[in-house]
A and B are shown apart, each in its own frame.
Chain A
Amino acid sequence: MADPTTSDPSRPVLAREPLVTNGRSMSWISNKICGIVENRQPALWWYLFIPSVILMGVLGYCLAYLVSTGVGVWGNNHPVGWGWAITNFVFWIGIGHAGTLISAILFLTRQKWRTAVARAAEAMTIFAVMCAGIFPALHVGRFWMVWFLAPVPNANGIWQNFKSPLLWDVFAVSTYFSVSLMFWYVGLIPDLGLLRDRAKTKIRKLAYGFFALGWRGGNRQWRHYEMAYLLLAALSTPLVLSVHSVVSFDFATSIVPGWHTTIFPPYFVAGAIFGGFAMVLTLMIPARKIYGLQDLITAKHIDNMAKIILLTGTIVGYAYIMELFIAWYGGNKYEQAAFVNRTQGYYWWAYYAMFFCNVISPQVFWFKWCRHNIWVVMIVCMFVNAGMWFERFVIIVTSIAQDFLPGAWDFYHPSRVEIWTFVGTFGLFMGLFLLFLRFLPCIAVFEVKGVLPESDPHYLPPETFTHDAEGDQLNYLSKKKAASKKVAKKKTATKKKTATKKKTATKKKTATKKKKD
């Protein structure tokens, strides 16, 4: 079929929705994003940060209690060796998928809309993986012996069991974490340079300067940077798919009915992307509102992510139904019983909560209105967050609570320590994310600038556009406003001048005083 845009020259080319709305200029972007880091935080930041720190303390306390007393402080029992701990691990590691997916896969596929959300999503990934790592590391009976998992040659002469999916898991997660961290950091370097250049205090200058690794923005540096970023993106891309596949092997390679399923790797990856995007939206929608980033993270972004949620949610739904189908079609009594127990057994409510949250609720995203209504998006994302947690709970707990021998069946209930540990990881996650917002540019400044129409070498500014000195488009502002702005600017300038004068004066004074002493 012929392209409608070319077949009929009289039809205008459908313009792409701009990725940065309101025609914001480069300097506006710099100011806006660096301003978050440079200015005082809104009160809300503190209202979120303080409870987060308290929860971090709770987490620390719970973990100290766990390690000092024994895994018994949790609710695990004999059929259910893994309870909330591994549920939470898979939950967090799943969340940690969206970030690298956005920054690596979408980078390779030239999805330019990724630029506005990539940085924060990646940060989220790293923090989520940190939260995730806590659980497998500390759920073991003897935490102090956890180094047995590392392939360190030791006096015992015993190596790890390379057949164990749990070991692959350790390698996969740690690789994912280190590559993600590197990828994130490399992506940060140009912006760290920017922050360093804009820094007004010595400490900031030193700190950002240290981490900017001497970034000057020269042509060669950009070339190297681009190549490094591309390579890392290529390296991360398979990792995005492998980590959750490997996590799913923990279950898929076992013989437990309900775990032993070949659909798990793709299903887990889809689920992870699904949950990850929901978490990105959960974080970005409020952040965009608080910091006034609506022009950078636009309805278009939310729309795109909602579509991905719709797609992956439907894949997940397919997997759920396929699991049920295979259980019936496979004719394996134990498998059938596992799914009967899931859907009608003791934990049936978890199954239906999962099904509703993950499969039914995202279906509203078929409608554009829903994708564009922030509240609807937020609510669905919340459902998805909860639903993905339930999914892991359903998979892990219902399967082992009732497996082969009815004589060994027992049910599992989390203890308070377990619940608070999970809540505590939210504190850690939120706290780290808030610190990230406070100290690092939450949107990749240089990348967003790159998607501005003006960045196109062939860009011809419309004649009607004129910029003032600060880069604001004049035609968007009334003259009066511009005038008042000028006045304001003058005022600040004089203020600054007087401030610096005073400072130098006091400095001189102290200097002379010192001399006298």
Chain B
Amino acid sequence: MFRSLGELESSPSFVAKLEREFPRGAAEFDKDGDKDSVSRRSFMRYMGASTALAGIGLSSCRRPVAKIVPYAGSVEWMVPGKAVYYATAMPRLGGATPLIAKVYEGRPIHLQGNSLHPGSAGCTDSFAVASILDFYDPERSRSYKSGRGKESKVVQPEEFWEQFDLKKKEWADNKGKGLAFLHGSNTSPTLKNLANQVFEGLPESGFYEYEAVERQGMDKAAASLFGKGAVTRYRLDKAQRILTIGCDFLGVDRITDGATSQFSKGRKVESINGNEDIGPMNRLYSVEHQYTVTGGMADHRMPMKVSDQYPFLIEISKEIASLTEDNNLKTLVSDKKTNLSLDDESQKWIKEAANDLYANKGKGVVVAGTRHDQAMHILCLAINNALNNIGNDKPLQIVEGMPSESGSINELAEAITNDQITTLIISGESDPVYSAPAELNFEKLLDKVETIIHLGVRDLCSTARASDWHVPGSHFLESWSDVRSSDGTYSIIQPMIAPLFDGVSDIEFLLRLINDESSEEVKDPAQMAVKSTHADVSGSASENAWNTTLRNGFLKDSQFKMLEQELDYAAAKDGLEKVSPSSDVKGFEIVFTTDSKVWDGRHINNGWLQEIPDPITSLAWDNAALVGIPTIKKLAKAEGLEWDKKDLVIEDKAHLIKVEMEDGRSGYFPLLPVYGHARDSISISIGYGQEGAGSIAGTPQGDSIWSYESDTGDTTGFHFYPLRDTNSSLFGKVKSVKLVTEEVELRPGLKTKTYPIAITQEHFLMEGRALYRDGTKEEFDKEFKKSEKAHKEHPGHEHLSSFQTRGMDSHIPPNQAVYRGQDKEKLIEDKVQQWGMSVDLNLCNGCNACTIACQSENNIPIVGKDQVIIGREMHWLRMDRYFAPNMEKDDHDHYASVDEDLENPQFMPQPVSCSQCEAAPCETVCPVNATVHTEEGLNAMAYNRCIGTRYCANNCPLKARRFNFFDYNKRPLDQLYQGPLSEKDKTGVAPSLKLQKNPNVTVRMRGVMEKCTYCVQRIQEAKINQKRIARDSNDVKVPDGAIKVACQSACASDAIIFGDISDKNSTVSKAKQSPRNYEILKYLGLRQRTTYLARIKNPNMKMPNAKQVGTVSKKLH
């Protein structure tokens, strides 16, 4: 642009003219070059700046503008706010948990079991449900790192892969000499194929397997008795008599996938919806050193030290051998002498249990703990064989599985010591540097290895820190893989989302190792690899077959082949001779148990699992040394103290004990008294005490200025692995145990006599209230017949069973109805469905999976250890557990405790959540109408209306309401008390955790009351769906079973039933007609929508103490 030709040419005359007309700097009004004077421009500048500053100040008063940007082109299958469900599976020790992932807008938010799966039947547990939080773990590894320990620094991925390719060439040249892989246990056929390929290419390389919690003894025993590749497969649903020796198969001992649902099938006493085939109720005998959920379900339980369990099994074998007259078994055990001193009662116990097993030949099973040694399992198999329990359609089957061919960590350690290893690639979720047997001194040993590459999801774990290279691993929800569950059914693991942090899966890593750079680029090599395995396994390479498997989540009829081999008694004899079980622990033993919250430590940064109370001890956020009361008294006596039960835990503070092992290793641990624990035995769960494990695991708990003194450093729990070595993998001999009476240095800088622990439920007695009701099979059968008869003879009348008239219920005056003489049915006749729930206590073992599922579905925050100590956990569904000491009638017809120290009490778990009372006490007291009843009978919460007076919670007899004392959803755990000055207030919780939130459930702010509303979002979704189906037919009633609430779908034992109670034919209505049905606080006239079904025990009346079994609530009235 030019205004004249002169300007275009910039002729001097024009420039001079221009200068005159528009003097340079005129805009600045530069008065004679006076620098200080304010020019127009600078004035504008200052004004502008100050206005802008003012603007900043003001704009911060406004809410930040958040925009919802719609998709430019719609994404297939995706409707915002509508979930899409995909089938996948979670790899587990010795199998897999088939899952259905609920995905919103590409974010998986909730996991539930795949009920179509033949092996697990929708069985999940708390680990499987909570694994979604591991996926969103804010401290998950998100970058490649190089350098050991403190030298570790973040590097670009290319840097690593460059080095890796160089190494690859090196290995190709020397056939992999010096290369070793240390991987975790897995049952992925693809991974196995790839490993085989690697091994073929690099025959000099070595493969080693390590799991801190393993089942080697079990697998090795099967292999040695039934030939290579043989694996045991339990079918507990086919067992009518089960004897477990130290096996917590309902809890942390994974003998098979779906053990819980199998067991629960055999446990049912009545067919609730009428179309279930109910066999005779099973009977469970349990011998265990500490109370477990399995022991809780047992009809007969005996506490016994782990070190005594092998001799005990020998005694049983002898008894069974003489009953069955099985010579093979006889010869196997006849020469075995046990120095077990059994009292008369125990002898009777053994005799009658053996008799019962013998009487139910072919329909029983004897199970040993997965972590017990080989000898124990050999003996178990021999007993089962003698009892004809092994075979097709029997409770125990021998199948051709996928046994591991890798070496053990001890072999790896030996190889390293011999300088055979130069490069070690560690993968898997175990953390060997943290958890390897203490005598290996693994961390030091690794100094001898030139290069260590760690592939894992946690770069904070000790192994990652000890490695030269860390490669971020991927979670099973974001990568392609496959897996076989323990019955062999093949499942595909498909990614729900693109890798969040660019992690590399094990399969991808091996593919990088195998594939040449020259080979052509495949779009998704891992998927291709899995696809080819699938083609192999299914025998069909068609896209259709692949899609079907993907959709179902498993391949039909892909179970392992049954083996018809005979038991090799010679090998058994050999095995028993070779393996000398350490059964001579006369003094104290220490048992390293698998933790019900963090497993072997891998879930340490998972807030849901950390905060879930242990089913038995109710301990959250920690582990502790569990000791029975008689043993504690003994320990106290040794210190010259006289200890009362009340002294054991003082207001959330645990006393300390010092444990010293035979070889001098020792440590201080908090002492937690437990009930039903074997004498002279200490159990400690592993997996805690990891340093720098993450912001959730290592949150310095609270601020001692404002709350309780519980600053325990930046680690939760106690590190027990240093006490554990190869020989004491399950238990070890303890040289001395001492009660700490003076201050000791528990952790650097922390001198104390006690340690704060968070227990969610301190009171363990029912206080004579019939809150939990139980009965025996005999009693139930009688009542069942009676009620059937009564219903037939006087239909429409209320018939109260003996279960319904216990406790205060026996004093309820007759109901004087206002609408006398009117047809009640007509009065409530309308189209609206009425929701209700039934909890079958006979099937509930107290595993807590429901609580986690509820947490995941309903955006329930965690609150941290400090808040749990104060008593502010937010779980909408909590697991109350009670212990009942054995009581006997005295001369005056009063019941008196005969088990003062609760050495073998009965265990009673009871899930409690809002029971949607029809006459809800919470609703009448809310001043602002924030909690109201819906037409469908839900006690709804209007979170926006709630001002938080907490009156409703006070008036709730179940105490099922939860109050947001802090902004748990906004502030990190260590900032709760910081108020507006909190550093990270603006950022709130980690963004990755926000991705997990269910978009259909409000994320509650502080100051608001919250509680269970029967997953109202699921009900609404089902109703909308039904309306869509109904169209003009007006049939808008949601069919029975279409709605599964979160806790229900997580319950492996099928204990929770939900549905329409106005429909007399719905499952829940049927359940409520059972004579076992009762309202927990019927006396209050609340008309609760959630009712319970009493637990039924199946005692063998010949057993000692059989009279006590299943009669806890019978004494209460």
Contact = CB atoms under 8 A, between A and B. Distances in A.
Contacts of B1009: 141
Nearest to B932: A161
Contacts of B872: 72, 77-78
A141 B811 CA distance: 39
B48 interface: no
Interface in A382-431: 400, 403-413, 415-417
B955 A255 contact: yes
B964 A81 contact: no
Interface stretch (B38-46, B499-507, B777-785, B919-927): B919-927
B979 A69 contact: yes
B1025 interface: no
B912 A407 contact: yes
Contacts of B977: 69, 72-73
Interface string A58-78: 000000010011111101111
A350 B928 CA distance: 33
A141 B978 CA distance: 17
A159 interface: yes
Nearest to A400: B954
Contacts of A452: none
Interface string B846-873: 0000000000000000000001001111
Interface residues of A, number: 61
A68 B706 contact: no
Interface stretch (B431-439, B944-952, B1067-1075): B944-952
A237 B948 CA distance: 33
B539 to A, nearest CB: 54
A254 interface: yes
B1042 interface: no
Given A141-B964, A158-B945, A334-B808, 7 more contacts: A81-B950, A142-B948, A146-B947, A160-B928, A161-B924, A164-B925, A404-B959
B442 interface: no
Interface string A356-376: 000000000000000000000
Nearest to B705: A416
Given A145-B947, A149-B928, A405-B958, A333 B871 contact: no
A166 B1007 CA distance: 17
A404 B966 contact: no
Contacts of A332: 808
Contacts of A410: 762, 871
Interface string A149-176: 1000000101111011111001000000
B947 A142 contact: yes
Given A71-B1007, A405-B771, A407-B880, A141 B959 contact: no
B495 interface: no
A143 B1081 CA distance: 34
28 contacts: A69-B979, A70-B1007, A71-B963, A72-B867, A72-B872, A72-B966, A78-B873, A79-B959, A81-B963, A140-B948, A142-B947, A158-B945, A160-B928, A160-B929, A161-B927, A164-B925, A254-B954, A255-B955, A333-B769, A403-B957, A404-B769, A404-B957, A405-B771, A406-B765, A406-B771, A408-B878, A411-B651, A413-B870
A70 B966 contact: yes
Which of B708, B926, B957 has the most CB atoms of chain A within a 10 A radius of its CB? B957
A254 B920 CA distance: 11
- Which of B764, B765, B955, B963 has the most CB atoms of chain A within a 10 A radius of its CB? B955
Given A68-B979, A78-B962, A255-B955, A404 B924 contact: no
B947 A141 contact: yes
A392 B1084 CA distance: 25
A142 B1008 contact: yes
B1006 interface: yes
B706 A73 contact: yes
Interface of A: 65, 68-73, 75-82, 136, 139-143, 145-146, 148-149, 156, 158-161, 163-167, 170, 250, 253-256, 331-334, 337, 400, 403-413, 415-417
A415 B949 contact: no
B308 interface: no
A165 B765 contact: no
A413 B707 CA distance: 10
A357 to B, nearest CB: 25
Interface in B874-893: 878, 880-882
A78 B873 CA distance: 8
B947 A148 contact: yes
B1008 A141 contact: yes
B949 to A, nearest CB: 5
Nearest to A401: B871
Given A81-B954, A142-B1008, A149-B947, A331 B811 contact: yes
B761 interface: yes
Given A158-B945, A405-B912, A407-B882, A76 B965 contact: yes
Contacts of A81: 950-951, 953-954, 963
B1039 interface: no
Contacts of B955: 254-256
B768 interface: yes
A331 B912 CA distance: 26
A109 to B, nearest CB: 35
